[in-house]
Structure 1
Amino acid sequence: MTEINLNEDEQKIRKAFQTRDWNEIKTNDSWTIFKVMSEFVSAFEKLAEIGPCVSIFGSARTKADNPYYKMAEEIAAKLVRHGYGVITGGGPGIMEAGNKGAYQQGGKSVGLNIVLPFEQFNNQYIDRDKMLNFDYFFVRKVMFMKYAQGFIVMPGGMGTLDELFEAITLIQTKKIARFPIVLVGRSYWEGLFKWIEDVMLNQEHNINAEDLNLINIVDTPTEAVKVIDDFYSKYMLKPNF
């Protein structure tokens, strides 16, 4: 098989096994470092003074007529009315719904877009001065975590699970404060967390029982926003834009 007949995935796999000389390694890795630094600096500058926000995670594939789309839109609108801004991944589906709810209420609507070969494009409800584009997932995830004071997780796929467990892990390991994590849709999430309780906790003892207290599973927008409000009322803190 010649190089020209390889598809993109096959080229990447083959390249991983190729021996590279030092000059090639130094050149390629140095440019990667500068690109990563550039993404961090640009994001830090745009988000440093954004104020209290809640990150909303969920599927890019959710259509506008899906009940979860409408719930995400309502949750974002309620968050804005309660004084919070909204951060999403900036794309379609649940992300669009979150930005739409915030934007139509006149609140801060942040979009952290990722450059992908499919699915992802900027939705129209992001504040123009709060729209960022990333090449690197790990830089983007830092921004979701660093600038959010809470996390709303709607039904989604692998990316949503990645973001959810990133938040849980950072809180569990005390790398960030114990911000509230709210999962919306009991029928969607309870099976996963039943397995976590039965297998990870009780059978294999790979987590502590208190780790399960880091998440809240609810069914309605009102319940979701109430978890955020109740959490901060304990500390006598209110958003102040």
Structure 2
Amino acid sequence: MAALSRGSSPENVYQRGPAQLRGTQVPSRTTDERLLEGRDGSGWVHTDPWRVLRIQSEFVEGFGALAETGPAISVFGSARTPRDSPVYDLGVRVGAAVARAGLGCITGGGPGAMEAANKGAIEAGGVSIGLGIELPFEAGLNPYVNLGINFRYFFVRKTMFIKYAEGFIVLPGGMGTLDELFEAITLVQTQKIRSFPIVLIGSDYWAGLLGWLRGSAVPAGTISAADLDLIQVVDDPEEAVRRVIEGARHVAEQRDPSHGTERSQS
């Protein structure tokens, strides 16, 4: 099915089938940048109220596109991961494991580790979802997305990653990956969300960060040792998916003891 465009770029774009947004021209000043600029005198009256309506429309369109996709796992990782990297291969295996478990694979829709996870999911016959973002240096969704949405605003997109996922699997990544990781940890730690396992994959890569948290942040009293229990670390894709599924199911059963029985009989 051809992409259905809601206006010209950078409007939200829904697509089923291979991504058709590669090469899309993105403005040098993004919508997020303009939103976050300081107030400009009377300009507030003429601009920000309209931005509120555009933000509202992004939420509505995102909810509408994802509401019936079924259970999914959000997979994060670096856009800079090259295709000949072992981490890229790991991402493909993660996406395939997610699909084999009967779950949708949600990524940021970009290149690198995101592309790898989408590739693994679609090649395994699963649902491959890409939530793109308007950036001055990155255009379009990777070719392994069969349901894609482009967002202007980071915070709207972040809501979708959380709302429509059973949990996170986090491949080695940089600033954007760390942003999503720590935001999810904060939401769980503050009990804004409860049924949300967070699994890091790649123990060698994450050892330094976890060592610093354990050796510096915990002794300083800025976090508690129990906060580190919110993060699980594995090296095997199948194990990562299993832990997300079991973690989400455990919390659901705590809320409703009949949940597990109903699930096993279905």
Q: Provide the residue aligned with 1:20 in structure 2.
A: 41
User: 3-state SS of the aligned residue for 1:76?
Assistant: helix
Q: Provide the residue aligned with 1:3 in structure 2.
A: none
Superposed CA deviations along residues 140-186 of structure 1, whole A, max 9, x for unmatched, are 10100111001000011100000001111111111112311111111
Q: Which runs of 5+ in 1 are unaligned?
A: 1-6
What is the total number of aligned residue pairs between the two structures? 226
2:192 equivalent to 1:175? yes
Q: Over the residues paired in the alignment, what is the CA RMSD in angstroms?
A: 2.5
Q: Provide the residue aligned with 1:57 in structure 2.
A: 76
2:138 equivalent to 1:119? yes
Q: Provide the residue aligned with 1:4 in structure 2.
A: none
- Quickly say closer, same or farther: Cα 1:232–1:187, change in 2 above 3 A: same
Amino acid at match of 2:53: F
Compute the displacement of 1:200 (Å): 1.3
Sequence identity (%): 50
User: 3-state SS of the aligned residue for 1:51?
Assistant: coil
- Structure having the larger proportion of residues in helix: 1
Q: Provide the residue aligned with 1:189 in structure 2.
A: 206
User: 3-state SS of the aligned residue for 1:152?
Assistant: strand
**Using the alignment, how far apart are the partners of 2:113 and 2:173 within structure 1?**
8
- Quickly say closer, same or farther: Cα 1:28–1:227, change in 2 above 3 A: same
User: 3-state SS of the aligned residue for 2:129?
Assistant: strand
**8 Å Cα contact 2:196/2:248 also seen in 1:** no
Compute the displacement of 1:120 (Å): 4.4
**8 Å Cα contact 1:232/1:238 also seen in 2:** no
Aligned with residue 47 of structure 1, among 58, 66, 88: 66
**8 Å Cα contact 2:167/2:248 also seen in 1:** no
**8 Å Cα contact 1:60/1:120 also seen in 2:** no
**Using the alignment, how far apart are the partners of 1:85 and 1:16 within structure 2?**
36
- Quickly say closer, same or farther: Cα 1:232–1:96, change in 2 above 3 A: same
Q: Provide the residue aligned with 1:225 in structure 2.
A: 241
**8 Å Cα contact 2:195/2:248 also seen in 1:** no
2:126 equivalent to 1:107? yes
- Quickly say closer, same or farther: Cα 1:16–1:153, change in 2 above 3 A: closer
**Using the alignment, how far apart are the partners of 2:139 and 2:234 within structure 1?**
28
Choose 154-163 or 213-222, whichever is displaced more.
213-222
TM-score calculated relative to the size of structure 1: 0.86
**Using the alignment, how far apart are the partners of 1:39 and 1:107 within structure 2?**
25
Compute the displacement of 1:87 (Å): 0.2
Q: Which runs of 5+ in 2 are unaligned?
A: 1-27, 254-259
2:138 equivalent to 1:81? no
TM-score calculated relative to the size of structure 2: 0.78
Segments ≥4 residues shifted beyond 2 Å: 15-19, 228-239
- Quickly say closer, same or farther: Cα 1:79–1:135, change in 2 above 3 A: same
**8 Å Cα contact 1:151/1:181 also seen in 2:** yes
- Quickly say closer, same or farther: Cα 1:82–1:158, change in 2 above 3 A: same
Aligned with residue 211 of structure 1, among 224, 227, 231: 227
Compute the displacement of 1:231 (Å): 2.6
Compute the displacement of 1:223 (Å): 2.5
Amino acid at match of 1:115: E
Compute the displacement of 1:17 (Å): 6.4
